[in-house]
Amino acid sequence: MSANKESWGSRVGLILAMAGNAVGLGNFLRFPVQAVQNGGGAFIIPYLVCFFVMGIPLLFIEWSMGRFGGKYGYHSTPFIVDTMGKSRFWKYIGVFGIWTNIAVAAYYCYIESWTLSYVFHSIIGTFSGLDQDGVSNFFGEYVSLGVSTLGVPYEPIVFYILCLLLNTWILSQGLASGVERVAKIGMPMLILFGAFLAFKGFTITAGENGAINDSSVGLNFLWTPNFDQLWSPTVWLAAAGQIFFTLSVGMGTVQCYASYVRAKDDVALNAMSAGWMNEFVEVVLGSSILIPISIGYLGIDRVTELVQSGGLGLGFRALPYLFYQWGDFLGAFSGVMWFGLLFFAGITSSLAMGTPWIGFLMDEFNWRRKPAAWSFGVVVFVLGMPTVLFFKYGVFDEYDHWAGTVSLVVFALLETILFSWVFGIRKGWQEIISGADIQVPNIYKFIIKFITPILLLWVFLGSLFTPKGNDWSAALSGNWILDNSSIINRLANTSLKKQLAAATDPSQIEFLQDQIFFVNAARILLLSVWIILALLVYVAYKKRLREGRI
């Protein structure tokens, strides 16, 4: 008999926990950069289209799948999806719903630990008196395991362990007393901090405190539409990819959370509430902080340069310096607000990542909550340390690409096919509307069955065969050369091999050789974890057969 008898304490707590699962670092660091790189205001059109035809349908699918599996006492994706398909192989597709969370948590908790460290450094005034290059160099030294201003050897490892311990302890307290309680505190604090910083972002005036532009310049830069890019497949792929990141779909966390609701509880309104709360945080707050403040003090040219390195370049290399343009006290206070906001966004997401593994151990092997939670901490620590120790070799990026990008699309595509075509859209639709507190538009029955899987297949194939330079017009005209970012060329290490062939400096040659080794080792490690999890699912399946539970 399973040791898993948990449930949510309240509907508000469930919705906040689900929203916390979706609201993460990408809302504040990734979304504004994606918008800038893909047409500014025009990006919001494909973004919202993808939200309506892919994001909401996937939320409906995953919430209803989770509740359906929960009726049978399943709280992790291998056996949740197994209840919906007759073939035995579906449970192994469900392995992605555990593997993805463990692999993503391994590097996500590392970013989370940066925010915890930067909160501390903001409090003690580390960034006071540093220019922008000084703040940027601080970040570079930090991730290269250099000695910080605190004089603590291997400070990133210390904060990484602290962050893991905090996550694990909260998870060990259970859903209602741990995850839900943190969500009830973390989400309001996140919105409060975000509102303060958004206000500052909206009220920058050129000539005050060293600002060279009004806030309107940054907002115009972000939201002025470039309609020339609207029909680019690259922009639509970026919008679809952002939906995955922002809603945390295709991971297995939504199914796991939803499996703890009662059989007749609403899932449709819950899904919409969590989804729209995430959209408010991302589109309204996320777009009002990073870009407007950065352009206000650095100018468009400098920000355009930093945007090429993504949101991390601005969020960690620039903002701590910019905050101090408002004075020492407000600079430190704003730093605590910004990195505190990111920390709350991160921890509410990383807590969700531990729940599928814990639910699996409690369901299938009768583990108690506390040892199951601490085992998650140990597994993530072992798998995550290579991302800390070998960050400069690209191990972090490999985890992010395969677990945090490719895996999401693959699992979402397969679960949509399972829900719509194997389980059947008629039964699936009944699961969505059963107990619903809203009238779900019937058009979504058609969208879920046809539009969503086609769009997901397009996203996957677009990533698999990405044309060189993302030049789709040339590719569709018959000149299809694979880009180095395509899945195929990435697996072949095409970019690294070209760099190695062109290198002449011995130190650079040695570095690239080491990088190829560590990149391949990271992939082997991730694959090994997936195989181990699949074997555990097989053992659990045989155990159920012996006990007559199947």
* Phi, psi angles (nearest 5°) of residue 462: -65, -35
> Which distant-in-sequence residues (6+ apart) come within 8 Å of 45 by Cβ?
230
Options 3.30.2320, 1.10.287, 1.20.1740, 3.40.1130; CATH of 11-547: 1.20.1740
- pLDDT mean across residues, the chain: 90
d(CA 287, CA 281): 9
What is the per-residue pLDDT for 4? 61
Q: How far apart are CA 425 and CA 416, in angstroms?
A: 10
Alpha-carbon span 358 to 364, nearest angstrom: 10
Name residues whose C-beta falls within 8 Å of residue 453's C-beta, 6 or more positions apart in sequence.
413, 416, 417, 420, 421
Of the candidates 373, 352, 374, 380, the residue with the CA atom closest to the CA atom of residue 110: 380
Residue 13 — very low, low, confident or very high, per pLDDT cuts 50/70/90?
confident
Please choose, from the candidates 448, 390, 439, 440, the residue with its C-alpha nearest in 3D space to the C-alpha of residue 418.
448
In this structure, what token pair is assigned to residue 341? 């906001």
* CA pair distance 80, 359, nearest whole angstrom: 11
Token representation of residue 39: 């047409």
Is residue 336 a contact partner of residue 121, using CB atoms and an 8 Å limit? no
Q: Residue 25: pLDDT above 90?
A: no
Q: What is the pLDDT of residues 262-299, one digit of tens each?
A: 888 899 999 999 899 999 999 889 889 989 999 999 89
Q: Does residue 194 carry a pLDDT above 50?
A: yes
User: Model's pTM, two decimal places?
Assistant: 0.93
Residue 520: what pLDDT? 97
How would DSSP label each residue in 257-321? Answer: HHTTS-TTS--HHHHHHHHHHHHIIIIIIGGGTHHHHHHHHH-HHHHHHHHTT-HHHHHHHTHHH
Q: How far apart are CA 51 and CA 239, in angstroms?
A: 9
Backbone angles phi, psi at 533, to 5 degrees: -65, -40
The average pLDDT across 34-59 equals 90
pLDDT in tens, 422-446: 999 999 999 999 999 999 999 999 9
Share of the chain above pLDDT 70, in %: 97
Residues forming a β-bridge with 467? 482
pLDDT digits (tens, 9 = 90+) for 491-504: 999 999 999 999 99
Give the pLDDT confidence of 202-255 residue by residue, as tens digits: 999 999 888 999 999 989 988 888 888 887 788 888 888 888 878 889 999 999
Q: How sure is the predictor about 533, in pLDDT bands with cuts at 50, 70 and 90?
A: very high
Band (309; pLDDT cuts 50, 70, 90): low
**In angstroms, how far is CA 253 from the centroid of its own chain?**
11
* 3-state secondary structure labels for all residues of 211-255: CCCCHHHHHHHHHCCCHHHCCCHHHHHHHHHHHHHHHCCCCCHHH
Q: Do 420 and 448 form a contact (C-beta atoms < 8 A)?
A: yes
Task: State the angle between helix axes of 407-417 and 96-124 in degrees (0 to 180), rounded to the nearest 10.
Answer: 140
